[in-house]
Structure 1
Amino acid sequence: MFNKTLVPQSVAREIQGMIQSGQLKPGEKIPSQREFSQKFGISRASLREALLTLETLGLLKTEAGRGTFVASPATPASAATGHMAPWRYSDSHSVFDVFQTRILLEGEIARLAAGRLTQLQLDKMEQATRTMEECWANQDLLANVEADLEFHGLIVSACSNAMLKALYQTVRDLVTETQRQPIPITDPERMRESIAEHRRIILALRSNDGARAKLEMETHIRNTARCAGLEP
């Protein structure tokens, strides 16, 4: 039985495993939501959330009137010409607006976190960055993004401004989606650059250099937006 607070992530991981093991093959139509929800013993709402996550990561694709299929495996050659899933929050905020807000919010949060992160937190950020690198090499896309989210979350947790921290939590779902959204068109070189950017942010934070941490975070988010074809 899945942890109820982590049901969509747990189910997404299970389905990703089925794809990686070949139990679900490229081009194959996945079972109906009714069948899948019964298989995992979860609600259809939780299943839909898991499927949306996997679609955003490029592991599944939905074709109108036909259903949801396993996507073809991403390769370095095809990554640059891949396609991102539709932006799921388009009814409320554009992806451009979210990236622009992330630059403003997370840049300032990084500045205010400098000098407040413990050695343990900095070490956890280093580990999260290594995990991102290892999981990308293994194409464990869910774990790659989870490590990315942990990295950014650790910085938020050390921010000295409680209101900024609260604002971040109110937009966390949208922020999370911008961290997943570019994955299907991210080539290995961009992932290497992203990991290097994480390490420069850590260095600035270890040095208690708030101005540098802010600049490095803003640069990192701008470069991620560019990967998604945007110039915020």
Structure 2
Amino acid sequence: MLNKTLVPQSVAREIQTMIQTGQLKAGEKIPSQREFSQKFGISRASLREALLTLETLGLLKTEAGRGTFVAGSGDRNQANHMAPWRYSDSYSAFDVFQTRILLEGEIARLSAGRLTQLQLENMEAATRVMEQSWDNQDLLANVEADLQFHKTIVSACSNAMLKALYQTVRDQLTETQRQPIPITDPERMTHSIAEHRRIIAALRANDAQAARSEMEAHIRNTARCAGLSP
């Protein structure tokens, strides 16, 4: 049994490993939340968060009245097959992508010239992890590295209110980084990684306008991958 202090992301990683190693097979119904929460030693709320993350990444699928199942490769590769948007009661995915363009574009502009050499190197490392984990189909590691990349830029922003605004809507913003994963083809991921490197280059050169422009283009392209054009 896993330590009870593990966060939902750690449990999601354990379940992803179970899927990758065949302990949970494609099309198989996963154990009940009660059974799974006992196995991992976490609350059902934490387990639900882990399962929602895996569903957003296309590793699990929920069928009304039947339960949650391991998605097969056909499910994961099916065109336009994304999990339901989790925040539809408050904001549409379109609204969130539009907000990301405005907010993260300006944050990138204000972060130019403020990132340390170590932070820039960490962003480069995160981008390499994104690339390697995509090749290995470690989807959780891919997204975690993506989140770390963007989080580092936010941490260097000179405007405390913008940073606070980002934190207020962080869950919705980061969900847009997970949402398109099931329908992201290798070419799009290659472009996304190249976009990250252009953002790093602009920030390293202290080119505020280029940093904003590259960030806005990156988020727009991610939105297009999700079938949206904000």
In the alignment, what sits opposite 2:43? 43
- The question of 1:205 aligning with 2:203 is answered yes
In the alignment, what sits opposite 1:162? 160
Give the CA deviation at 1:47.
Answer: 0.5
Q: Which runs of 5+ in 2 are unaligned?
A: none
In the alignment, what sits opposite 1:34? 34
1:74–1:223 Cα change, 3 Å: farther
| Contact 2:130 2:146 (8 Å CA) reproduced | yes
| Contact 1:11 1:50 (8 Å CA) reproduced | yes
Query: Hey, what's the Cα distance between the residues in 1 that align with 2:191 and 2:142?
Result: 15
Letter in 2 for 1:83: H
What is the alpha-carbon root mean square deviation over aligned residues?
Answer: 1.3
Alignment partner of 2:104: what SS? helix
1:157–1:2 Cα change, 3 Å: farther
Give the CA deviation at 1:165.
Answer: 0.5
| Contact 1:80 1:186 (8 Å CA) reproduced | no
Give the CA deviation at 1:2.
Answer: 3.9
Query: Hey, what's the Cα distance between the residues in 1 that align with 2:4 and 2:168?
Result: 23
| Contact 2:82 2:183 (8 Å CA) reproduced | yes
Query: Hey, what's the Cα distance between the residues in 1 that align with 2:18 and 2:74?
Result: 16
Give the CA deviation at 1:7.
Answer: 1.3
TM-score, structure 1 normalization? 0.96
1:116–1:74 Cα change, 3 Å: farther
In the alignment, what sits opposite 2:176? 178
2:137 equivalent among 122, 136, 139 = 139
Letter in 1 for 2:144: E
Give the paired residue count.
Answer: 229
Give the CA deviation at 1:82.
Answer: 4.6
1:149 equivalent among 123, 147, 150 = 147
Query: Hey, what's the Cα distance between the residues in 2 that align with 1:83 and 1:28?
Result: 19
Query: Hey, what's the Cα distance between the residues in 1 that align with 2:4 and 2:148?
Result: 19
Query: Hey, what's the Cα distance between the residues in 1 that align with 2:40 and 2:125?
Result: 31
Letter in 2 for 1:179: Q
What percentage of aligned pairs have identical amino acids?
82
In the alignment, what sits opposite 2:81? 83
| Contact 2:4 2:42 (8 Å CA) reproduced | no
Give the CA deviation at 1:79.
Answer: 3.3
1:55–1:129 Cα change, 3 Å: same
Q: Could you report, residue by residue, the CA deviation over 1:144-172 in whole angstroms, capped at 9, with x for unpaired residues? A: 00000000000000000010001000111
In the alignment, what sits opposite 2:53? 53
